[in-house]
Amino acid sequence: MSKKIDSTPRADGYRMPGEFEPHAGCWMIWPERTDNWRNGAKPAQKAFAEVAEAIAEHEPVTMCVSERQYMAAKEVLSPRVRVVEMSSDDSWMRDVGPTFVVNGKGDVRGVDWRFNAWGGLVDGLYFPWDKDDKVAVKVCEMEGKDYYSLESFILEGGSIHTDGDGTAIVTEACLLHESRNPDLTKHEIENTLRDYLGVEKVLWLPNGIYLDETNEHVDNIVHYCAPGVLVLAWTDDENDPQYPLSKAALDYLEGETDARGRKLEIHKIHIPDEVLITKEESQGVDSVDGTLPRVEGDRQAASYANFYIANGAVILPVFGDDVHDRAAVETLRKVFPDRKIVSIYAREIILGGGNIHCITQQQPLG
């Protein structure tokens, strides 16, 4: 049994743990919409299945699949991935799933934010999104976890990271965007994060990754690897439009401390060479009014920071750029000496607008 709770995680002594803390498992959603994923979503399904199988070597994975695709997904996925039937509008569990919070006694609860497809009627990526907005509660109910439900506060899980030790990090570009919570001040937004993530300090990066269609989610530019330790998507090319965005993030982080007063240790990871949509890729996507089009030549917001930290492993997107792929693996080996670094070719995922972190949601062990 699971029920809605009318207080806040902070009031009840709950906090959002760091992703690097132990997990009970991972949640994902099977991709199928043909106006976002090319060729009937078959190449994306293969990539999602690879991600699920890689994570399942380290922790239990549940794949949520529509009634229409249920049997097909079971054919592709190995028996170690649990498949459950669930409706959704697309496949971004990070953004539509619950944010799990824990207390000191090992109890786990969910937070159900409001979801508007990354911008609602202002600049949302598809319409409608009502099924997505119900996913968080369904996951909590399936797991028998009580949950907090915000009435009107819009937030996606990919727009927050926490260190589990009092600090959250977000971008101004996303959280202060007119398409999210335009009636709230920065101070009010920060207070909501404090109440529902159980943090004391919020770090505000100005921007995320250039052309990121989520209005620059934080999970594509930085990743908390341990309290006080972050990786940052970087470029040495001062002529790249990403340069001023990453430089501003670095300058900001170097001048900040976290909730415990620690200086931040920042590891730069160079972004891959440009990932541009090919003509064939563009032509494989159904063109539908109201869904963001996939246009030949458009640059994708490809970044290695969009990885998933599993129990004992890091599942890293790579892009077929040998030099930068290898450098990303090497950096992560240093940052995570006790975890296996598992690279997955993620072009088919970035073509849909996000990456491995965006399609996964950890459930902490508590």
Minimum distance, C-beta of residue 200 to ligand KQY, in the bound complex (Å): 26
d(CA 305, CA 221): 6
Which of 313, 325, 319 lies closest to 299 in space, CA to CA? 319
> Counting contacts by CB under 6 A, is residue 133 touching ligand KQY?
no
**Maximum distance among all Cα pairs of the chain, rounded to whole angstroms:** 55
- Tell me the H-state helices in 150-219: 172-175, 186-197
User: Which residues, numbered 280-339, are part of the site for ligand KQY (CB under 6 A)?
Assistant: 292
Residue of minimal Cβ distance to ligand KQY: 354
d(CA 350, CA 333): 23
The single residue among 125, 199, 232, 314 that binds ligand KQY, judged by CB under 6 A, is: 125
The single residue among 88, 162, 214, 242 that binds ligand KQY, judged by CB under 6 A, is: 214
> Counting contacts by CB under 6 A, is residue 65 touching ligand KQY?
no
Which whole-number Å values give the CA distances from 74 to 27, 62, 63, 69, 79, in the listed order?
16, 12, 10, 9, 8
Give the number of other CB atoms < 10 A from CB of residue 140.
Answer: 26
> Counting contacts by CB under 6 A, is residue 36 touching ligand KQY?
yes
Task: Give the nearer residue to ligand KQY in terms of CB position, either 33 or 138.
Answer: 33
The single residue among 358, 360, 363, 364 that binds ligand KQY, judged by CB under 6 A, is: 358
> Counting contacts by CB under 6 A, is residue 19 touching ligand KQY?
no
> Counting contacts by CB under 6 A, is residue 352 touching ligand KQY?
yes
Question: Quick one: tokens of 104?
Answer: 């000191």
* Strand pairing report for 167-171 and 161-162: antiparallel
> Counting contacts by CB under 6 A, is residue 59 touching ligand KQY?
no
> Counting contacts by CB under 6 A, is residue 58 touching ligand KQY?
no
The single residue among 217, 223, 324, 339 that binds ligand KQY, judged by CB under 6 A, is: 217
Minimum distance, C-beta of residue 296 to ligand KQY, in the bound complex (Å): 17
The single residue among 21, 59, 95, 216 that binds ligand KQY, judged by CB under 6 A, is: 95
Minimum distance, C-beta of residue 40 to ligand KQY, in the bound complex (Å): 16
* Strand pairing report for 147-154 and 222-226: unpaired
> Counting contacts by CB under 6 A, is residue 88 touching ligand KQY?
no
User: Which residues, numbered 138-177, are part of the site for ligand KQY (CB under 6 A)?
Assistant: 158
Non-local (6+) Cβ contacts of 157 within 8 A are 94, 95, 96, 97, 99, 113, 361
> Counting contacts by CB under 6 A, is residue 354 touching ligand KQY?
yes
| Cα 215-345-228 angle, rounded to 5 deg | 55
- What is the sign of the dihedral through the CA atoms of 32, 33, 35 and 36? negative
Question: Quick one: tokens of 338?
Answer: 């006790």
Minimum distance, C-beta of residue 305 to ligand KQY, in the bound complex (Å): 12
The single residue among 92, 113, 210, 336 that binds ligand KQY, judged by CB under 6 A, is: 92
**CB contact at 8 A, 82 and 102:** no
Task: Give the nearer residue to ligand KQY in terms of CB position, either 227 or 317.
Answer: 317
| Residue numbers annotated as active site | 358
Chain positions contacting ligand KQY, by CB under 6 A? 36, 92, 94-95, 125, 158, 213-214, 217, 292, 352-354, 358
